[in-house]
Amino acid sequence: MKKVPIVCLFLITGLITFFPVLGNDFLGDDFGQIVNNPYIRSMKNFPRFFGGSTFFVPGYPRLFGIYYKPVLITGYALIYAAFGLSPWAFHLVQVVLHATNAYLAYRILRHYFPDWALWLALIFLVHPINTEAVAYIANLQDILFVMFGLISVNLYLGREFIKPGRWVAIGLTLLLSLFSKETGLLFGLLAIAYSLIYARKQLSGHLITISGSLAGYAFFRFAVAGLGVNSGNFTPISNASLSERVFNIPNIVWYYAKTLVFPLKLGIYPLNLIEKPGLVGFVTLAIIIFLGVVGGYLAGKKFIHFVFFGIWFLMGLGAHLQIFPLDALAADRWFYFPLVGGLGILGGVINFKKSRVVVTGLIVILIGLSWRSFVRSGDFKNSLVLAQHDIRLNPNSPELESILGGEYLARGSYMQATEHLSRSLALFPNNGNVWYNLGVTYQKRKMFPEAIKAYEESIARGRYFQSFENLARLYLALQEYETAEKVASDGLKYYPANNGLLLVTAIAYYKTEDQAMAVSQAERLVRLNPSEYNRGVLDYISNRKPINISSP
């Protein structure tokens, strides 16, 4: 097939398969990174994308978070500049980029398996395990890091001699992959594996470009953004010991194996931490090792390709087996990179020719996979629909209970919110954000002592700015002015420009008749945010007018 028709084939197939996502809303992390993030609303903020993480937090001097993904935020800003805050536009771009990745994977697979590359790449395009990466806007990071990485592979694939300009392009795409997601490092390791297997003369060039990309990434992450190497402690697996995480490896491998072969039950947060490994997991590991040996034998003359794609697959899988704790036990989006390697392994062991029966069978498989992805895409309609569906598959997930609680809270169903948030904390009590939502729920129900305790637990576990602000405002409304000032001042140590915390301190000082401090804080408030409301507060305090505080 010609290049243009093949590109169109991937694009049209991708749009049909994932068509439901175009009608989906923002959900989850989309709000902190896109909807409520003023930074992405102007490309003038481009330098700021490299000076922090990805989440907007009021009063925090830069984008908040523990990960460094400036290309992701730049991508959001570009989409916003073109289409505004329209969910369909973000989804459309993500689907198109996924189709692009399928085409890039096709070009790589075609180099080794020209007879089967198109079919293998189409499997990558429509496989349901990729739906989470395609349908959830926050997972654009996975699409981007793989896209830039696949471009880098295509730049050096099959070339005996690489010109200096191409080496620069390889290094740049590796850097962009790293800037999209830290996992882009795997493409650097893959380049080293490629040179050792196929092109020893390229090894020094790859080592230089990889070193340059890593140096550039390290400079921007550590020196410019000031982000260290951290992992969150807000999920069970991130709090588990190394031995506990190792015990769960067979369970993780079993999940990916069954989802790859029979992707019927799909869900975010599909697994829970187990204390002891089960027999099924060990059997799965044994079967995979056995199939690896058999596959190596069947590969025959293609054994060297089998090894290369086996390294690709194992690197991608191994990076997500919890040797280093991640923020979930398993996630379909984490199979996006290793799936290309897995399909390459499959290409290496296929030793039969295409026939009418084989082609018919492949078409049936592709239609079945595409339909499952089509249906699964609809589950991402919004956070409530997604959590209600997925919790039926994993009813003991603290993460899904938390999502449900937050959604019911947003909809004013406070009793249901309390039920789900309490259950989430019973399953895992160390998530400060869940404690915050529970505090809001109790406050809405006028259960103030319970709300205070929940906010304090949230602050102790995560120093959430909302918890400082809500707790300080609650004490202010309860006329406990000194306590309100103390809580707000503690919060300002972490969020020095937070409007709500500055407002509380100004009013608390005013109510305790510390006029000088009250005026000072009100003036600082106006300097940072000269809104009409804040100027009014300054006027009231400066002229000693009475300030009425609404009931909590």
pLDDT, tens digit only, all 552 positions of the chain: 566 689 999 999 999 999 999 999 999 999 999 999 999 999 999 999 999 999 998 877 889 888 999 999 999 999 999 999 999 999 999 999 999 999 999 999 999 999 999 999 999 999 999 999 999 999 999 999 999 999 999 999 988 789 999 999 999 999 999 999 999 999 999 999 999 999 998 999 999 999 999 999 999 999 998 887 765 666 788 888 888 888 888 889 989 999 999 999 999 999 888 766 666 666 766 777 776 676 665 666 678 888 999 999 999 999 999 888 888 999 999 999 999 999 999 988 887 677 788 889 999 999 999 999 999 999 999 999 999 999 999 999 999 999 999 999 999 999 999 999 999 999 999 999 999 999 999 999 999 999 999 999 999 988 888 899 999 999 999 999 999 999 999 999 988 888 889 999 999 898 888 889 988 998 998 998 888 888 988 888 888 888 776 655
Quick check: 128 and 266 in contact, CB under 8 A? Answer: yes
In eight-state DSSP terms, residue 49 is H
Q: Where are the alpha helices (DSSP H) in 18-59?
A: 30, 46-49
Q: Which residues of 384-399 are buried (b: 16+ CB within 10 A; e: fewer)?
A: bbbbebbbeebeebbb
Q: Which CATH architecture has domain 469-552?
A: Alpha Horseshoe (1.25)
Residue whose C-alpha is closest to residue 206's, from 216, 195, 197: 195
Name residue 55's beta-bridge partners.
Answer: 64
pTM of the model: 0.92
Fold match between domain 396-462 and domain 469-552: yes
φ, ψ dihedrals at 517, nearest 5°? -70, -35
φ, ψ dihedrals at 265, nearest 5°? -95, 105
Report d(CA 106, CA 127) in Å as an integer. Answer: 15
Task: Kindly list the domain boundaries of the chain, sorted by start residue.
Answer: 396-462, 469-552
Fold of the domain spanning 396-462: 1.25.40
Instruction: Categorise residue 162: left if φ over 0, alpha if ψ from -120 to 50, beta otherwise.
Output: beta
One DSSP character per residue, 250-309 reads HHHHHHHHHHHH---S--SS-----SS--HHHHHHHHHHHHHHHHHHHHHGGGHHHHHHH
